[in-house]
């Protein structure tokens, strides 16, 4: 099997979009991240983040938990088990592509 074949095995187009990739990277580093913090880190509006989160949720990669903190309604985002696996496989696929280009 060629390196490019291995890379394609883990490549996930749903995650690959720049903002979705950044969302997954932020969520991979923590158990849960508040929606507002993700929005600030990405520098996007609520509606843009909501659209990307919806795509990831539809794929089963992200889940949201709603609750109240400081008397305000809050939303926390987290990667699902399959989302974490898909993200890690996607990163490995990207590394395989880059590794091949450097050879």
Q: Is the dihedral of CA 17, 23, 29, 30 positive or negative?
A: negative
Q: What's the pLDDT score for residue 5?
A: 42
Residue 10 to residue 29: CA distance in whole angstroms: 20
Domain around 82: 3-98
Continuous segment of H or E residues that includes residue 94: helix 81-102
**Within a domain: residue 36?**
yes
Q: How many CA atoms lie within 13 A of 10 on its CB side?
A: 20
Supply the CATH number for residue 16's domain: 1.10.10.10
Render pLDDT for 57-96 as a digit per residue (tens, 0 to 9): 999 999 999 998 788 899 999 999 999 999 999 999 999 8
Q: For the residues 96-102, what does the mean pLDDT come to? A: 74
pTM: 0.85
**Within a domain: residue 64?**
yes
Tally of structural domains, the chain? 1
């Amino acid at each position: 099997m060629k390196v490019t074949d291995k890379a394609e095995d883990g490549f996930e187009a749903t995650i690959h979009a720049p903002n979705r990739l950044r969302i997954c990277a932020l969520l991979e580093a923590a158990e849960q991240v508040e929606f507002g913090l993700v929005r600030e880190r990405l520098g996007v509006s609520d509606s843009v983040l909501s659209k990307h989160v919806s795509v990831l949720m539809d794929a089963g990669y992200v889940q949201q938990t709603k609750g109240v903190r400081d008397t305000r309604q809050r939303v926390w985002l987290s990667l699902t088990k399959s989302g974490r696996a898909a993200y890690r496989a996607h990163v490995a696929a990207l590394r395989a592509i880059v590794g091949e280009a450097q050879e």
